[in-house]
Structure 1
């Protein structure tokens, strides 16, 4: 079978992805699961994505009835990781905690692709990010910033360029920062859109999450996005401390 250009590009991107040694020095228990998906037929939120979001809201409600969000093991671990590089977790919450805190009043409904990965993030209690591969440049790299890298975002309805703090943990491509503070805020340039057909998902795991649980989250996400078109292709790679760059 002949592979599509996107498939070749996905394999190269996965092979080139790396986590710098300085990040593993901060958290040797960190693992990054990279998932590439192409062949997606874009579409609005639908019954399946709505049902999954409702399941995620119900699950979050059960967990948070018995304990505050900040003491859930993976949330607590991410708070520790944020403090380790100088971020204040009460002010800049990791993406998992931010979604869990929204679940009581309702998770966002964006489009079927975003809805699915937000629901999987909550259901498996793991931060998940999604990048539009058609707007991505080169392989992903997780590093500690120098402070000179560029990050495009929106402030007051205007596009502005910011710079991460020196030592901040950031995801980058060849153009600039794609996500600040590990999994806090995504760049506008690579965010998923209603017409996105090719995606890089990043699942971030720390010690409380086992490798088996990380693979289960990736399996679940892959299964859900595979229904988004007749020719969807999924590939993955997990990066661990043994593969530090």
Structure 2
């Protein structure tokens, strides 16, 4: 079944250079972290400075966060948070095979990468600026909690509520990929100066990793940019 994310015009008004690669994966057989996923995570930590655009790309994300009122020093984008953890600890936490794969690619490319369980979605995802009424299901001190997005905040959401706050800062608990997930959606998000070719390269690496985990996986790609939506 097609899964078509939508990006609201106000996002491109905020950052005309924003582009994303959407990858819908079906017939996935996920599993626990293993030697392959440990290798992906280890290699990513050793390649922290491999991308020449890495620091400038993360700086662009800080600017994007400030533009909608967030404080990136307190709530950094997902790629920067992972990078800081890798720098501090020399390693990244193992979650499950698929999450390890996209976390490794996020660090390697200094690129925010999100992974979601499609079965848990109410309709397709939308990237919008919040009205201030959208609920966000999370956990606080080990207990379920429902927060509300701030007015003007950039969020991914579906018909039920916010699935990721502050663009790509924190994912909600409802849509997380688990070892039992079989249909998944990934979004790779870039700003200038990261090359578009590098975005597509990261997408191909993600698909290659998914095929290593599950050779029978079926994937569909959609390139999302201002006035452009191209399927592959």
TM-score by length of structure 2 reads 0.93
Identify the residue that residue 190 of structure 1 maps to in structure 2: 175
Task: Quote the residue 2:17 is aligned against.
Answer: 29
User: What's the CA shift for 1:63?
Assistant: 6.0
**Greater mean deviation of Cα atoms: 117-126 or 76-85:** 117-126
In the alignment, what sits opposite 1:94?
77
Aligned to 1:237: 222
| SS in structure 1 at match of 2:227 | helix
1:144 to 129, 137, 149: 129
Determine whether 1:122 maps to 2:110.
no
Distance 2:157 2:165 in 1: 9
- 5+ residue gaps, structure 2: none
Map 1:66-81 onto structure 2 (within 5 A). Answer: 72-81=55-64
Cα deviation for residue 136 of structure 1 reads 1.2
RMSD: 1.8
- Alpha-carbon shift at residue 226 of structure 1 (Å): 1.4
Instruction: Report the CA distance between 1:90 and its aligned residue.
Output: 0.4
**What SS class does the counterpart of residue 164 from structure 2 fall into?**
strand
| Superposition pairs of residues 174-185 of structure 1, within 5 angstroms | 174-185=159-170
Separation (CA, whole Å) in 1 of partners of 2:21 and 2:147? 27
The aligned counterpart of 2:194 is 209
Residues in 2 aligned to 1:223 and 1:19: alpha-carbon distance in whole angstroms:
26
Aligned residue for 1:226, secondary structure, equals helix
Match of 1:39 in 2: 27
Q: Matched residues in 2 for 1:32 and 1:141: separation?
A: 12
- Partner secondary structure for residue 61 of structure 2: helix
Shift in Å, 1:173: 1.1
Which aligned segments of 4 or more residues in structure 1 are displaced greater than 6 angstroms? none
Of Structure 1 and Structure 2, the greater helix share is in: 1
User: 2:43 — aligned with what?
Assistant: 55
Q: Would you say the 8 A contact 2:45–2:86 is kept in 1? A: yes
1:53-97 superposed Cα distances (whole Å, 9 cap, x missing partner): 11101112x569xx9xxx801100000000000000000010000
Q: CA deviation at 1:243?
A: 4.0
User: Is the deviation greater in 114-123 or in 38-47?
Assistant: 38-47
| Count of aligned residue pairs for this structure pair | 227
